[in-house]
Structure 1
Amino acid sequence: MTLMTIIDDTALHQSKKQSKKLEKLWQDVEKKQARNQRYRAKLDGFYEEFKPLIESKEHVVCAATGKWIQHLLTFVPRKTIKGNQRVELYAWIEEELTILEANPFNPISTTDLREFFTSLLIDFQSTMPKQTVSDEELDALREDLFGMFGEWLPLSNEELIDMIHHPERFQAYIHDMLNQSNSAEAEDEHEDDSEWDGPDWDMNDDFSFENDDPELPMSTALFEDKAMTKLYRQLANQLHPDKERDPEKKALKKDLMQLLSQAKKDKDALSLLMMAQEHLPEYKLTADDDMLKRIEATLHSKIALLNQEHEFMQHGNDIKSEIWRRFGGGAKASRAKTLEQYGDLLIVESEALYAKINNVTTVQAMREQLSQRIHQQELNSMMGFGMFEDFLK
C-alpha cells in the first residue's frame, strides 16, 4: 500500500508530478525505516552473540578491578605517602572506580567501594595535624589536576589547601568533576525516555492536536491538524486492548497501543498514517493543497530523522553500537576469532591486576608505582604540548 492510496483524491488538485514526488518521499521513508530496522537487528543479534562469550570474562576483570581498588585503599592510611604522591593515589583510586562504573557488565557495587574510600579519607584526615602548604606544593597540585582534567580548574589557594587537609573533599571533588558533564544529559534522557506505565488510554479522550501558532514548522503543523486528532481516536478505538478478549490479540493490541502512544508523544503524524494503512483499511485522508504541503514537509523531516538515527547507531556511544564497531567487522569466522582474542585479553588483564596485588605490597613499592604514574603523566603532557606547538608552526 502506498501513500496515495489513503489520500482522498476527490478534493485534490495536485499535478501528477506532485503526486509522484510525495510517493517517492513516502517510499524513501519506508526504505530508510527498513534499513534502520535491519541495522538495529544486526546490533541486537551481535550483542546476543557477544554476551554469552564475553560476559563471564568481563565479570572476572571487574572482580579483579574491585580487588585492586580494595588493595589501593589499604595504602590510604599510610602517612608516609605524602604530597603529589598522595594526590596521585586518590586520583588512581578514582580512575579505577570510574573504569569499573563504566563497564556495562560490572556486577560489583561501586557505591560500597566509594563509601569505604570516603570513610578511610575521613579517618586518615582526623589523625593528621594540619600542615603548612607551600606555594610550590600548591603549584604542583594545580599541575597534577591539569594533567588529570586537561584544563586549569578555578580553585583558589584556600580551596586547594582545604582539600589537602580534608582528603575526602578532594575525592568528592574529583568524582563530581568527572560526572557533572554527563549528569544533565542523563537527567534529560531519563525524563524523555520514561517508560509507559500501563493502559491509561481513554477512547473518549477529548485532547486535541490543534495549535493555532502560525510559526509552527510545516512538519509539526501536520500533526496539529484536526485530521490527525480524528485519526488518533479512530486508531485508539480500533486497537484498544480492553476491547479484545483473545489473550494473544490482546497482547498484540497492547503493543500497538504503546506505539500509538509513542507516536502521539513524538508528534509523529507519519506513524499515525502508517498505522492507518495497516489497521484501518477503509481510511481516507481528505487533503487540500495546504495539507499536501504539510505532508511533504513532514516526509522530508522524517527522512532527516531516520538518517540521524542511522548515524547514531553507526557512531553512537551506546553499548551495542560500541561492541559492533569494535568487534563486528569482517566475516562471521573472523568476528568469532576476534571475540576469542578479546576474551583472552580480558583474562590476561585480570591476571595482571592480581599480579600487581601480590607484588605491590609495601609502601615503598606503591610509592614507586605512584612516581611512575606521575612521570608518565608529565611525559604525556609534554608530548601533547609539543604536538600543539608543531600544529601552530
Structure 2
Amino acid sequence: MTLMTIIDDTALHQSKKKSQKLEKLWQDVEKKQTRNQRYQAKLDDFYEEFKPLIESKEHVVCKATATWIRHLLTFVPRKTIKGNQRETLYHWIQEELTILEANPFNPISTTELREHFTSLLIDYQSSMPKLDVSVDELEALREDLFAMFGQYLPLSDEELIDMIHQPERFQAYMQDMMSQDIHSDSENEYEDDFEWDGPDWDMNDDFSFGNDESELPMDSSLFEDRAMTKLYRQLANQLHPDKEQDPEKKALKKDLMQLLSQAKKDKDALSLLMMAQEHLPEYKLTADDDMLKRIEGALHSKIALLNQEHQFMQHGNDIKSEIWRRFGGGSKASRAKTLEQYGALLIVESEALYAKINSLTTVQALRKQLSQRAHQRQLNDMMGFEMFEDFLD
C-alpha cells in the first residue's frame, strides 16, 4: 500500500514533487519495518533452536556453581582465615554469586545463599570477644560488608557497634535492606499490561493525546492533531474484540487492540495510519500544507527510530542478541557444531567445579588459593594503574 491512498488528493494536486517525496519516505519506513521484523524473527528462531539444546546444560552448571558457593561458605566461620585472606574469601563468594545471577538460564534463587552469607558473617562477628570495638575493627567490618554487598552501609559507628553486640538486630537490618532492593527492582519492571475486558475501557472517553507528558520516541506533532484522535476512535470502534463473536477473530482483534494501545502510548501516528490502510478501507486524511509538513517530520523520526531498533537488535545486551552474536555465525551446520561444542564445554565446567569442591577440603588448601587470588588481584590492580598512567602520559 502507499501513503497516498489515504490522503485526500485535493491537498496534493499542486505539489507532485512533495507527494513523491512523502511516498518515498513512507516506502522507506515500510522497508525498514520489514527488515527489523525479519531480523527479530531470525533472533527468535535461533533462540528457540538454542534453548532446548543448551538450557539443561546451563542448569547443570548453575547447580554446580551454587554447590561451590555453599562449599566456600563453610569456610566463613573459620577464625584462622584473617585479614586480607578473609576479605579475599568474601570477594570470591560475592564474585561467584554475581556470576550465577548473571546467567540468563539460572534456575537457582540466590536469596537463600545471600541470606546464609549474611548470617555467617553476623555469627562470625558475634563470636568475637564483646569488648570495646576499636576503630580498626570497625573499619575492617565495614570493608567486609563492602566486599559482601558492593557498597558501604549507611550505619554510624554507634549503630554498628550496637548491632555487633546484638546480632539479631543486624540480621533484621540486612533482611530489610535486601527486601527494599528487591522491591525497588520489581518497580522498574514493565507492568502496564493492556486489559480489554475490564471496567475501565470506554470507547467514548474524551481523551486528549497531548496530555501525556512521557518522553516521546518520535516527533509527536502529527500525533497530537485532532485528526489522529478521531482516527484512533474509529480504529478502536472497528477493532474492539467485544464486538466480535467468532473466537478466532476475537483473539485477532484483541492483538490488534494491543497494537493500537501501544501506538497511543508511543505517540506513533504513522502506526495509526498504517492500521487505517488495512482496516479502514474508506478512510481519507484531509491534509493541508501544515499537516503534510508534520507527516514528513513523523516519517523522518520513524525512520530514525527504526534504525535505532535495528542497531539495538544487532548490538544490544538482551539474551537473544547475545546468543546470536556468540553462536549465530556461519552456516546452519557450523552453528549446530558450535552449539554441540559449547554444550560439552558446559558439562566439563560443571565437572571441574565438583572436582574443586572435592579437592578443596581443608583451611590450609583454601588459604593457599586465597593467597594466589589476592596476589593476582594485586597484579591486576598494578597493571590497571600502569595503563592509566600511560594513558595520562
> TM-score, normalization: structure 2?
0.86
> Using a 3 Å threshold, how does the CA distance of structure 1 residues 111 and 154 change in structure 2: closer, same or farther?
closer
User: Equivalences for 1:239-258 in 2 at 5 Å?
Assistant: 239-258=239-258
**Residues 21-62 of structure 1: CA distance to partner in whole angstroms, max 9, x if unpaired?**
111111111111101101100110110010011001000000
Contact 1:69 1:97 in 2 (8 A): yes
- Counterpart-to-counterpart distance in 2, 1:144 and 1:117: 11
Q: What is residue 391 of structure 1 aligned with on the other side? A: 391
Contact 1:101 1:110 in 2 (8 A): yes
SS at match of 2:78: coil
What is the deviation of 1:11? 3.3
Contact 1:211 1:224 in 2 (8 A): no
**Residues 255-297 of structure 1: CA distance to partner in whole angstroms, max 9, x if unpaired?**
1011111111111101100000000011000000000011001
- Counterpart-to-counterpart distance in 2, 1:114 and 1:195: 32
What is the deviation of 1:13? 5.7
> Using a 3 Å threshold, how does the CA distance of structure 1 residues 361 and 143 change in structure 2: closer, same or farther?
closer
What is the deviation of 1:12? 3.6
Q: What is residue 349 of structure 2 aligned with on the other side? A: 349
SS at match of 1:116: helix
- Counterpart-to-counterpart distance in 2, 1:157 and 1:211: 46
Q: What is residue 192 of structure 2 aligned with on the other side? A: 194
SS at match of 1:219: coil
**Residues 330-372 of structure 1: CA distance to partner in whole angstroms, max 9, x if unpaired?**
1111111111111111111111110110011011111111111
List structure 1 segments (4+ residues) > 4 angstroms apart after TM superposition: 130-139, 141-146, 152-159, 161-170, 182-188, 210-213
Q: What is residue 326 of structure 1 aligned with on the other side? A: 326
1:309 aligns with 2:319: no
Aligned-pair identity (%) = 77
SS at match of 1:286: coil
Unaligned runs of 5+ in 2: none
Contact 1:58 1:346 in 2 (8 A): yes
Q: What is residue 362 of structure 1 aligned with on the other side? A: 362
Q: What is residue 75 of structure 1 aligned with on the other side? A: 75
Contact 2:32 2:306 in 1 (8 A): yes
Contact 2:146 2:153 in 1 (8 A): no
Unaligned runs of 5+ in 1: none
1:226 aligns with 2:223: no
> Using a 3 Å threshold, how does the CA distance of structure 1 residues 230 and 155 change in structure 2: closer, same or farther?
closer
What is the deviation of 1:194? 2.6
User: Equivalences for 1:266-277 in 2 at 5 Å?
Assistant: 266-277=266-277
Q: Aligned-pair RMSD on alpha carbons?
A: 3.5
**Residues 117-155 of structure 1: CA distance to partner in whole angstroms, max 9, x if unpaired?**
22222222221126866869969x979979x97xx9799
Q: What is residue 298 of structure 1 aligned with on the other side? A: 298
> TM-score, normalization: structure 1?
0.86
- Counterpart-to-counterpart distance in 1, 2:218 and 2:255: 29
Contact 1:8 1:285 in 2 (8 A): yes
SS at match of 2:380: helix
